[in-house]
Chains A and B, each alone.
Chain A
Amino acid sequence: MLTDGELVQAARRGQKGAFTALMTRHQSAARSFARRLSADPGEADDIAQDAFVFAWSNLHRLRAPERFKSWLLGAVLNTARSRMRSRARRRARDGAWLDAAPQAAQAPGEAAVTAVQLFQALSLDQRAALALCHGEGWSHAEAAEMLGQPLGTVKSNIRRAKEKLRTLLGEP
């Protein structure tokens, strides 16, 4: 089986199917990560798709082809961030009444709704750091590189996220 690095090189050479193979291999990770950043599964899939399109457009800029996955997850976060920014701008422009509108339904099972909603109460960076380090098992240093943030920022985001969850859950 070809490594990520080999597939990236093949895709850069224009070899048919190489990018599709990368997509098939990393689709699940990208979509899971996007779902942890956005509560709406439809929007999460849109974010993952945009991240893959970004990856295709910028493949020649990837300095370490063997680290395609971490680069892709960074692209997922950046896409989610820019979408959330433009949504916030839209909200500010269109008026506060949108805030009162019902949010998109949670797709995950009924039992998980509360947990997912609680998780969505965290900031985007906090969610990203927790999702990478706790959900995916990346080290803090790897997550920091992926997110383009200092190591200390990632650690403090995780600490603050847990504190906030504890507060929301009423834990001492």
Chain B
Amino acid sequence: MTKVDDVLSEVWAATSDPPAPLAFNAAVLERIARRRALRDIAFAAMLAFAVWAVAMALGPVLAAEAGLLNAILTTPAVLYSLQIVIAGLAVVYAVRNMPVLRRSVWPLGLRR
């Protein structure tokens, strides 16, 4: 056996089967939960923005050309209410996930 083989055997022995911390799986699952929460929030925000953009773009057209129903749906009050409801849903979602968010995005770092 050469010295190189000895060194490699020592390295394998020193690094094989590290003591399994019970927290390892939990830490991975927490990272996954954080990522999932951030992804969901990003998706909700994008969806809300898309709805808002469509409503803003089509609102005046529909109001001008369509009948009473469209006119009601696209009045500023209805549009603002819609935006408020969407924003409210986003806030409710964020609050429900607050324990995860607090650990992940506050203060500033995305990693623990």
**Interface residues, chain A, CB within 8 Å of chain B?**
20, 23-24, 27-28, 31-32, 35-36, 41, 44-45, 48-50, 52-53, 56-57, 108-109, 111-112, 115-116, 118-119, 130, 134-135, 162, 165-166, 169, 171
Contact = CB atoms under 8 A, between A and B. Distances in A.
Contact of B15 (A35, A52, A134): A35
B54 interface: no
B15 A32 contact: yes
Contact of B7 (A23, A28, A165): A165
B11 interface: yes
Contacts of B13: 112
Contact of B25 (A23, A44, A116, A134): A23
B4 A56 contact: no
Contacts of A35: 15, 18
A interface: dominant SS = helix
State which size class the interface on B falls in.
Answer: 20 to 34
Interface of B: 2-4, 6-8, 10-18, 20-21, 24-25, 27-29, 31-32, 35
A145 B48 CA distance: 43
B6 to A, nearest CB: 8
B2 A171 contact: yes
Contact of B18 (A41, A118, A119): A41
Contacts of A109: 14
Nearest to B4: A165
B10 A112 contact: yes
Contacts of B2: 166, 171
A32 B11 contact: no
Contacts of A165: 4, 7-8
Given A53-B28, A57-B35, A130-B8, A171 B18 contact: no
B18 to A, nearest CB: 5
B40 to A, nearest CB: 13
Nearest to A20: B25
A15 B72 CA distance: 45
Nearest to A53: B31
A135 B28 contact: no
Nearest to A41: B18
